Amino acid sequence: MQPINCYLGVSAILFCIGLFGVMTRRNAVGILMSIELMLNAANLNLVAFSAYGPKHGLTGQVFAVFVITIAAAEAAVGLAIVVNLYMNAKHVNVDQVNLMKW
């Protein structure tokens, strides 16, 4: 098997790509996609530690199940907000949503 650091490295790279996406995307859907990438990176970490951990347990996998649940809920609500934003503003660019800013 690969040493655990390989998985941790992939997870770190994935997380940073997601972070970069969140900071640079204009499109609200694009931001949501980047957040999903970051959650996946976290999941990969959890599952890797679950497989390699000092005590054999499924705690990491259980946590990953919860993260997937939360991600599904987050995607549903987030996309609902995006659709609502589109109905009100006719676009989904987050940098133009500045009605509350002064």
Partner 1 sequence: MTGQGVAFAVLAAITIISALLVVTIKNIVRSALFLALSFVGVAGLYILLNAEFLAAVQVLIYVGAITVLMLFAIMLTQQIMSAKISQTTEWFWLALPMALAMLATLIFFFAMRTYPVNPAPDALAVGTTMPLAEALLKPYLLPFELASFILLAALVGAIVIAREEKPGATD
Residues 31-60 that bind partner 1 (CB under 8 A): 32-34, 36-37, 40, 43-44, 47-56, 58-59
Tell me the per-residue interface mask from 7 to 26 with partner 1, x by CB under 8 A, - otherwise.
Answer: xxxx-xxxxxxxxxx-xxxx
Report yes or no: 32 and 82 within 8 Å, Cβ to Cβ. Answer: yes
Site membership for partner 1, residue 97 (CB under 8 A): no
Closest CA relative to residue 6, chosen from 48, 66, 37: 48
Among 73, 99, 100, 102, contact with partner 1 (rule: CB under 8 A)? 73
Among 42, 62, 101, 102, contact with partner 1 (rule: CB under 8 A)? 62
Among 79, 98, 101, 102, contact with partner 1 (rule: CB under 8 A)? 79
Measured CA to CA, the distance from residue 57 to residue 49 in angstroms comes to: 9
Question: Which two three-digit tokens encode residue 59?
Answer: 């705690």
Measured CA to CA, the distance from residue 11 to residue 34 in angstroms comes to: 14
